Amino acid sequence: MRTLTLILLASTLPWTVQAGSNDGPIKEEGAELLKPFKKQLMGALKQGLQQSPAEAVDICHVQAPGIPENVAPEGVELGRTSHKLRNPDNAPTDWQRELVQHYRQHEDRSPKSRTLDNGRVAYAEPIEVKPLCVTCHGPREQIPDAVRAKLDKQYPQDEATGFRVGDFRGIFWATWPAGDNPS
């Protein structure tokens, strides 16, 4: 039984940081690095929604992919990913897939951080579906026809529908070299 307990405990370690670590500052740094990305992404979506939900799909398609590179300090990578992708360019890496699975299987929605095997620090926080999100990510039959048409055109392999308010949608993530203070 003790061995099983140790195995189960060890399986949670990749997304925790050992005692005496700098987990708090890593999480604070990661959250700060993501703020401009999330702000610009939401700004672009709101700008599109002022015209129409279908226009928001176009704006998101054109503007969203370049936002992480435009706001990330040198050496920092930012992004978002999910278990149900809209844009295949946002497919998760191994560490991201592991964390997405963690969030899908647990009610824990706290931000996570860890040091990756490549010497970089990773930070991630969950994305929760908000009321505004269901306009484009809700149950497909509830998405307005004009929005569905745009989604079908811009994202022919779209899997990112069927969500309801409060659902886990994916993660925002950041990585940077371990030991650096990138902001």
Please, what is the angle between helix 145-154 and helix 53-63, to 10°?
20
Give CA separation, 78 vs 9, 11, 74, 140, 152, in Å. Answer: 29, 26, 11, 29, 26
Spell out the long-range contacts of 45-50 with Cβ–Cβ below 8 A and sequence spacing 24 or more.
45/132, 49/132, 49/135
CB distance 15 to 109 below 8 Å = no
pLDDT digits (tens, 9 = 90+) for 57-68: 988 899 999 999
pLDDT at 11 over 70: no
Q: What is the pTM of this model?
A: 0.85
Q: What is the per-residue pLDDT across 104-127, written as a single tens digit (0 to 9) for each?
A: 999 999 999 999 999 999 999 999
